[in-house]
Structure 1
């Protein structure tokens, strides 16, 4: 066992004395030492139940003959951090999460790891750490929030963000808004739609790093505690079998995740996180490959914000196993990939069936092609991402004048003041990984436009990113970003921009000679502390915004 390096032999008597200071007994010294990385906190609704999940994991580990040790890591609630300085810290937190778990796991010679995340950057950050540390590991999340009920209508967090726009447009009273904010998020858990957290929790199953139904069992269901116990039990067996993340996180596993991503219509942020996890495994997820997969895989689900279903509906309809089994039968996945069960992906799901064909439409898909698309053109030579499953049909093709803003704050002010008109193409730049820095998630402007009824006539383009709760023609991750002199830095107010989501292109309709004579806009936002370090080391969005070594 790896932990023998810190426990065994005469020379490790000092080490054992420290273990015994923790209350360890001799009988525990010869058992697998399992680290439990928990992001429990009292500031994130998705994490407030993780103490209970952790206790269930500990019970499972002990039942299987292991010794659990819990340690903490950070997390950011994207909803609370939204639309102010806090959002600059969300994506950078992914790096801190990965680094902190690597440091603790390596420093203490753990034999195995259980990763207990729930929300947006914590899930990918923990998976990045698992890939780096490469000891037997398993993911068990805290589960999804139940959808809310407001005056008989099903609601969620995105409903509240969109209601702000409705209030500003005079379509809703502040009293109605208060009723909504009191009921839209009724339980603990990751926000109830197919937003980023739930996207990544679902894809953890497909990657093979979590037990079946990890992505969909609601946080308040006792099934979640039972799954946590099973995960604790299973990690001890993974140690005995020496099954590591490097055995599971193969190129085929990532391609499976991309395919299911397309079928579910996951958050655009999944195409920021999957490449980052793959980077830790020396696997490249090429954007052109993503479009190839999207052309073959049907869009079989429309969960909020794309539709009215929520994660609880997907769970009751058969969950991710039912979706995966259906795609395997269509020949769209590699069925032989190894998973943390010790079985193949096919073996995990072969008994799963669709229980509600209105929620999982394998035989009558919403679209013959996937829910996400990569756009390219002279405005985004290295690619941009759109959740096409959440785009209104009338916005699949759009041409309009650019309305250019150099920050989220500027565009939010313009929307509040009614300065955005039907037909406009809103360009938000200098919000990328370096330019932000931190690549803000911009749900507030998109939700405000939706609440004002403009999501079917206004497009948004940014080198930053959009929330998983965003709907409409919202095109993010434009690469290269403005801070790196990308074409988006050359756009002028009033320039015509053409978007064709079906044909996957986005172009600035300005003569090439004129573009050659333009100088790029340069904006460098002053920052201190970790954001300054992050800006120096982070890569482009099309490569996952991974953190390279700091350049001198």
Structure 2
């Protein structure tokens, strides 16, 4: 684009790996660890370890086991040598020598679904359980050969013509938060003006239902989906595309794809198209689990944009956090967060150090748990704190700052999320907020990609432990609460005075952040790049993206699409 000749390609995603299983001898040893934990009064570790053992082994398993085994080691339940041995043996049982993508619905498989939704994956190569054979490769290459020199089938044009399809498939399938940034970057590199706000606008044009019943513990992982496709029962993203249409979601049927045909032509063949053909443990659904899904764009009074993966939260979990007040637990970087979140006595330390004021604790009780007020109102600090923790009335926003693209390359905040998930008590209390990057979700919401980032003076730089935030997840807002008003039973959102009062604190943090930046080689730092809402691409790429994806798109009939 931008005056260049079209680029032609077809994409062949890696096949899906079958999830690993814990070898019987190792399972017995881990069960013995759980029993030792119970004997020593560490029921939380025993429960968390047994729950982690119920999942298939996949690439996130290491971090999940690491968290609970580290806690067991710190309590003297197992030795350092045993810990290392268990992690090594779990890793060996996880990966496959043929390569491929793990069976969980993370960034790898979400990327497959998104790129297929963009029309860039031939169905012969889309969802496989083994590397593609020569016949499948030839089918894709034959289609590619027929498209070359027709600008309708250039990669950029196909991508732009299908961007609404891809966003709706990503939403309906509970795709990775990472792709909210990657899709923006792809569109900009293709020459199209695009940002997170365009994704948000498309997402809001029509509700996208949850049509993806995925589970790592009930036999509904992505390997199972690939098996259903390879058997001919369903047709992967073509089936999801069809079910979105059946549920009234508008899709661009006349957009071109790498088969050399449109979606309308591809879906005209009805064999294996309906999700209803899978009756045993279906993953793609005909009837929605709930009327909304996907990744939402958030705004608030202390930041401009952030994203949250609502699809990763079943409705009961969403209800536990939505419209709730949460205390900030602030970390200046991921390393500090990981050390703290691995502490088995973290909640006890917060209580003993009175990190959350008694007045605010009572105010949170009135707001988050009004049904408990009459019985708990006269309790002292320790007793009230314990009751609020045990009944999940206490909510904590773990804020991990200083992880944005300019500050530290925007690393994935996967490890702190897994440490929280591996702690049965903590995960019922915690929402994670960061200017770093996210793929998945904690039990509570994982709110990431926050802009402006801390290094650029964003509001996240000014927060501190003990502050109060209001989590309006369904309303797509996170607000900084006025403490005095909240203590008086009012929800007042005000942040400007906080920013002004904490300027010295912000300067100290920025100084430490700049020193920490030196851990990244100067030549590897992201300089002169856009922020997370604009794809984290070089400024020159963004500035030269001049095409309008709503108008500057060619259809196979030679018409331009108008939206």
Question: Which residue of the partner structure matches residue 504 of structure 1?
Answer: 476
CA contact (8 A) 1:291 1:373 kept: no
Counterpart-to-counterpart distance in 2, 1:133 and 1:546: 22
1:141 alignment partner in structure 2: 13
Q: Report the Cα distance in structure 2 between the residues aligned to 1:231 and 1:470, rounded to whole angstroms.
A: 38
CA deviation digits over 1:458-509, x for unaligned, max 9? 1110000123476642111011111111111111221112212222111122
Please report how far the alpha carbon of residue 344 of structure 1 lies from its aligned counterpart in structure 2 after TM superposition. 0.7
Shift of 1:385: 1.0
Deviations 1:151-200 (A, max 9, x none): 68533222332111221333996466555333233452022211112111
Q: 1:249 and 1:130, CA in 2 relative to 1: closer, same or farther beyond 3 A?
A: farther
For 1:386, the equivalent position in structure 2 comes to 308
Q: What is the match of residue 353 of structure 1?
A: 274
After superposition, the C-alpha distances for 1:104-144 in whole angstroms (9 at most, x for unaligned) are: xxxxxxxxxxxxxxxxxxxxxxxxx9998732211112222
> What displacement does 1:217 show?
1.4
TM-score in terms of structure 1 length: 0.69
**1:538 pairs with 2:459:** no
Distance 1:537 1:309, change over 3 A: farther
Q: What secondary structure is seen at the aligned counterpart in 2 of 1:483? A: helix
| Structure 2: runs of 5 or more not aligned | 25-53, 229-233, 348-388, 390-394, 483-493, 543-563
Matched, 1:439 2:423: no
Matching residue within 421, 434, 448 for 2:419: 448
Q: 1:482 to 1:532 in 2, by over 3 A?
A: farther
Contact preservation (8 Å) 1:268, 1:385: yes
Over 3 Å counting, the alpha-carbon distance change for 1:481 and 1:230 in structure 2 is same
Distance 1:314 1:432 in 2: 34
Give runs of ≥4 in structure 1 deviating > 6 Å.
129-133
SS at match of 1:157: coil
Task: List per-residue Cα deviations over 1:361-395 (Å, max 9, x = no partner).
Answer: 533322211222111111332x1111112233323
**Structure 1 counterpart of 2:329:** 403
Q: 1:550: how far off? A: 11
Q: Which residue of 2 aligns with 1:21?
A: none
Aligned-residue CA RMSD (Å): 3.0
* Distance in 2, Cα, partners of 1:468 & 1:550: 28
More strand by share: 1
- Secondary structure at the counterpart of residue 360 of structure 1: coil
| Aligned CA distance change for structure 1 residues 481 and 359 (closer, same or farther; 3 Å) | farther
Of stretches 422-431 and 515-524 in structure 1, the one that deviates more from structure 2 is: 515-524
In the TM superposition, residue 442 of structure 1 has moved relative to its aligned partner by: 1.5
Q: Return closer, same or farther for 1:229/1:264 CA change in 2, 3 Å cut-off.
A: same
Distance change in 2, residues 1:311/1:168 (3 Å): same
How far is the alpha carbon of 1:321 from its aligned partner?
Answer: 1.4
Listed one character per residue, the Cα deviations across residues 19-69 of structure 1 (whole Å, up to 9, x for unaligned) are xxxxxxxxxxxxxxxxxxxxxxxxxxxxxxxxxxxxxxxxxxxxxxxxxxx
Q: Equivalent residue of 1:274, what SS?
A: helix
Call closer, same or farther: CA 1:528–1:184 in 2, change over 3 Å.
Answer: closer
> For the residues of structure 1 that align with 2:177 and 2:498, how far apart are their CA atoms?
33
Shift of 1:431: 0.4
Greater shift in the superposed pair: 335-344 or 168-177: 168-177
Of structures 1 and 2, the one with the larger relative CO (CA 8 A, separation 6+) is: 2
- Specify which of 100, 108, 113 is matched with residue 202 of structure 1: 113
Given the alignment, which residue of 246, 249, 253 partners 1:335?
253
In the other structure, the counterpart of 2:144 is 235
**Whole-Å Cα distance in 2 between the matches of residues 467 and 482 of structure 1?**
20
CA shift, 1:310, in A, is: 1.8
Aligned length: 418
In structure 1, what is the Cα distance between the partners aligned to 2:501 and 2:239?
55
Whichever of the two has the greater Rg, that structure is: 2
In structure 1, the residue matched to 2:488 is: none
Gaps of 5+ in 1: 1-128
